[in-house]
């Protein structure tokens, strides 16, 4: 043992003679720092992995909430479609929508309750309980309505639909879903920031340790060139990996925008289908009823004049119903777009609104040869339509300007009125359909903004991307 210690100290003396005591001390410190860095990096890496798992779970929950809201809307649309047409196909669509909504809700509950730090999500769990209760109440209300309708109690079903409870339940679902999404997004942002801090600490530790070690190795064994070469290779690999991740993120973003475009296209197709069925089925029923009543009037005009007066009044009610049906069909899907194209249909929509409201109009539109894909054109049409409706109902405007400009990548819509304006500081998210317009635009990667103050009118701007393609395109 003594001999071994003598040999060890002799070797150390030689090292001190060759490299110097200071360098050997620095090398020892560097090795200690490296060991501690590896130990702590392992803990930080584990923490980063846990945060990544939590981020993935939160993104899954947010996706399921979006799907839940969409499925509730689909179920409600199928319910209304059945009440209007009595087609059993809508029952199938309704059942699918309800089943999918329940699955979405169950998925959210399972993930939220089984997260690693589920105890930290008490407030979100409370919001989820409220949302679950609202969804259950909404489903019960729709089930009651359909049960009445399928049992031949159409009048009772219609009364239930006309009550405010269904609308209030839907508003509550949307409100609680948005509150839950907001809370989860705040959590997601905090976790992202914490993970980024951890990553920066890891990067700092990983970079600082080797740099110190390389510096000392330069002084001790003069292998700086090899160390620098290895570091350059590592940096190139990291750069290539970052580039691959960035490219993947861009591709995923495009995919999400395409999926959003698909969803809006599906909504418009369903509206078109419903409009066509209303026009064909209800239109023929109302017209046939009007013809039969007219025949009865002619037949009994001399013998029962009092009944004739009543039938004439009934005929006027049928005329009102026919006009209301036409208005519903037009709002569900503007037939002029299919018949004459987007730009003539848009110009007709604007001209009709201006003529009804006696607005002084200033308008700039692109050339009618400008091509826009069907779904983007319908989004643009809905934005203009909703803005004109708001101006008609609330603005009390006398002047209106509409400017639309397009290039290869974007379509910009700017609409300004001189009406009463809005107080944006106290603006409800659902006021005047602004929320719906914003969601349509943002879902496809566009930009939406409004600017207004009391007494100074309302300015609306939407920028729509023209390079978005459906996922199946």
pLDDT at 231: 75
Q: How would CATH label the architecture of 17-222?
A: Up-down Bundle (1.20)
| Cα–Cα distance, 279 to 276 (Å, whole number) | 5
Cβ(72)–Cβ(142) under 8 Å?
A: no
Q: Is 420 helix (H, G, I), strand (E, B) or coil?
A: coil
Cβ(452)–Cβ(431) under 8 Å?
A: no
Task: List the beta strands (DSSP E) in 337-470.
Answer: 360-364, 399-406, 410-417, 447-452, 458-465
Which residues have C-beta within 8 Å of that of residue 223, sequence separation ≥ 6? 217
Choose among 413, 418, 420: nearest CA to 448: 413
| Cα–Cα distance, 431 to 394 (Å, whole number) | 11
pLDDT at 413: 94
| Cα–Cα distance, 473 to 461 (Å, whole number) | 28
Per-residue pLDDT of the chain (473 residues; tens, 9 = 90+): 666 656 755 665 555 554 555 556 656 666 676 776 666 777 777 888 888 888 888 899 889 889 988 988 898 888 888 888 888 888 888 889 889 988 998 998 898 888 877 788 888 888 888 988 888 888 888 888 888 888 878 777 777 777 777 778 888 888 888 998 898 898 889 888 888 888 788 778 777 767 766 766 666 666 545 655 777 888 888 888 887 878 766 666 665 666 655 666 666 667 666 766 666 677 677 777 878 888 888 888 778 778 878 887 887 887 888 777 766 766 666 666 777 788 888 898 899 889 989 999 999 999 888 888 877 888 888 899 889 988 888 888 999 999 999 888 899 999 999 999 888 877 765 555 788 788 888 888 889 999 988 888 999 999 998 877 655 54
Share of the chain residues as helix, strand and coil, in percent rounded to the nearest 5: 80, 5, 15
Radius of gyration of the chain (CA): 34
The CA-based dihedral angle spanning residues 314, 315, 319, 320, taken in that order and rounded to the nearest 10 degrees: -10
Choose among 402, 307, 395: nearest CA to 350: 402
Q: Which two tokens stand for residue 240?
A: 């290539």
Q: What is the CATH number of domain 335-465?
A: 3.30.565.10
Longest dimension (CA), the chain: 139
- In this structure, the number of other CB atoms found within 10 A of the CB of residue 132 comes to 18
Query: Domain coordinates of the chain in residue numbers?
Result: 17-222, 273-332, 335-465
pLDDT at 364: 92
pLDDT at 224: 42
Residue whose tokens read 């009595």: 86
pTM, entire model: 0.41
Which residues have C-beta within 8 Å of that of residue 69, sequence separation ≥ 6? 173, 174, 177
Q: Which two tokens stand for residue 459?
A: 């300015």
Q: Which two tokens stand for residue 144?
A: 């009651």
* CB burial readout 290-312, b (16+ within 10 A) else e: beebeebbeeeeeeeeeebeebe
Q: How many CA atoms lie within 13 A of 128 on its CB side?
A: 24
pLDDT at 293: 82
Q: Is 304 helix (H, G, I), strand (E, B) or coil?
A: coil
Distances (CA, A) of 108 to 59, 60, 209: 11, 8, 43
H/E run at residue 193: helix 164-220
Cβ(464)–Cβ(379) under 8 Å?
A: yes
Torsion sign over Cα 137, 106, 94, 332: positive
Distances (CA, A) of 256 to 105, 146, 244, 327: 22, 34, 18, 34
Residue whose tokens read 């769990």: 125
């Amino acid at each position: 043992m003594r001999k071994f210690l003598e040999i060890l100290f002799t070797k150390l003396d030689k090292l001190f003679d060759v490299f110097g005591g200071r360098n050997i001390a620095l090398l020892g410190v560097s090795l200690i720092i490296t060991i501690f860095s590896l130990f702590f990096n392992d803990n930080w890496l584990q923490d980063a992995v846990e945060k990544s798992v939590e981020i993935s779970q939160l993104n899954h929950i947010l996706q399921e909430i979006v799907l839940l809201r969409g499925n509730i809307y689909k179920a409600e649309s199928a319910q209304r479609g059945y009440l209007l047409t009595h087609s059993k196909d809508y029952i199938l669509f309704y059942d699918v929508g309800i089943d999918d909504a329940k699955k979405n809700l169950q998925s959210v509950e399972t993930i939220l309750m089984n997260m690693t730090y589920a105890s930290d999500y008490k407030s979100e769990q409370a919001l989820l309980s409220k949302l679950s209760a609202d969804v259950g109440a909404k489903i019960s209300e729709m089930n009651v309505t359909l049960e009445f309708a399928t049992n031949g109690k159409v009048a009772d079903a219609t009364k239930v639909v006309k009550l405010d409870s269904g609308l209030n339940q839907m508003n509550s679902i949307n409100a609680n879903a948005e509150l839950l999404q907001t809370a989860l997004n705040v959590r997601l942002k905090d976790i992202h920031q914490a993970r980024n801090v951890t990553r920066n600490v890891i990067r700092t530790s990983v970079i600082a340790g080797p740099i110190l070690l390389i510096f000392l190795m330069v002084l001790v064994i003069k292998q700086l060139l090899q160390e620098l070469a290895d570091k350059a290779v590592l940096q190139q690999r990291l750069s290539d990996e970052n580039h691959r991740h960035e490219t993947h993120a861009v591709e995923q973003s495009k995919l999400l925008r395409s999926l959003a475009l698909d969803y809006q296209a599906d909504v418009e197709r369903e509206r078109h289908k419903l409009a066509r069925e209303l026009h064909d089925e209800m239109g023929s029923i109302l017209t046939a009823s009007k013809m039969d009543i007219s025949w009865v009037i002619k037949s009994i005009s001399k013998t029962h004049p009092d009944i004739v007066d009543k039938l004439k009044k009934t005929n006027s009610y049928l005329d009102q119903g026919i006009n209301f049906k036409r208005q519903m069909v037009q709002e569900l899907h503007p037939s002029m777009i299919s018949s004459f194209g987007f730009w003539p249909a848009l110009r007709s929509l604007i001209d009709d609104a201006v003529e009804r409201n006696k607005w002084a109009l200033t308008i700039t539109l692109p050339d009618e040869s400008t091509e826009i894909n069907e779904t983007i054109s319908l989004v643009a049409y809905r934005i203009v339509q909703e803005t004109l409706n708001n101006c008609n109902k609330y603005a009390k405007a006398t002047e209106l300007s509409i400017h639309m400009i397009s290039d290869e990548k974007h379509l910009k819509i700017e609409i300004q009125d001189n009406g009463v304006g809005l107080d944006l500081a106290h603006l409800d998210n659902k006021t005047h359909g602004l929320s719906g317009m914003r969601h349509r635009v943002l879902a496809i990667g566009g930009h939406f903004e409004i600017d207004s103050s009391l007494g100074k009118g309302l300015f609306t701007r939407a920028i729509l991307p023209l390079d978005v393609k459906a996922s199946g395109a």
